[in-house]
Amino acid sequence: MTIPNLITVLRLVLVPLVILAIADSRWMAAFLLFVTAGASDAADGFIARRFDMRTEFGAYLDPLADKALLVSIYITMAIGGELPRWLAVLVVSRDLMIVAAIILSRLMDQPMEIRPLFVSKVNTAVQIAFAALVLGMKAFALDIGWLWSAGTGAVAALTVVSAAAYLARWLRHMAGV
């Protein structure tokens, strides 16, 4: 167990704490826990690369921790009315599609290399930034006006583009192209 992997496990432990804080409308706690989780994501990646501590376990665990955090937050905030439900459905559906495609390709003895696309990295960054913006808005009682609409649109658009890119890549892989 490397230091980056331990940091990633810590991020997984933070997920239920962030969700409970959101569910209890403890916005400052939710914001601070989310920012801590985000900082841990940056820290584990930096340490893994800088000190050559990359592991196969970490390669699977890190995106799992990211998705657990983001999917949980989007669902919880949609249920609470802080985000549109359709946006949470879109975010969750994309991730379910990717997981289903990976499982299906393995079941059909055509396993795919799991490698994030550039658009996916941008999508994840925008999803994180928008979640932080909404949590910060609630924590500091800010009116973010047009930023909320722009963030919603950016998350939706990038989620659709990312899903389409993964789907196209998966279909090419399954067709043997």
Structure confidence at residue 116 as a pLDDT band (50, 70, 90): confident
Mean pLDDT calculated for residue range 23-32: 98
Write the CATH number of the domain with boundaries 3-175: 1.20.120.1760
Computed over every residue of the chain, the mean pLDDT equals: 94
Range of weakest confidence among 23-32, 97-106, 108-117, 118-127: 108-117
Does this model's pTM top 0.85? My answer is yes
pLDDT at 149: 96
Cβ–Cβ < 8 Å for 123, 70 = no
The Cα 97–Cα 119 span in angstroms is: 16
pLDDT at 63: 87
Cβ–Cβ < 8 Å for 163, 124 = no
Classify the phi-psi angles of 70: left when phi > 0, otherwise alpha if psi is within -120 to 50, otherwise beta: alpha
Give the residue extent of every domain in the chain. Answer: 3-175
Q: What is the pLDDT of residues 34-67, one digit of tens each?
A: 999 989 988 998 999 999 999 989 988 998 999 9
Q: What is the pLDDT of residues 54-109, one digit of tens each?
A: 998 998 899 899 999 999 999 999 999 999 999 999 999 999 999 999 999 999 99
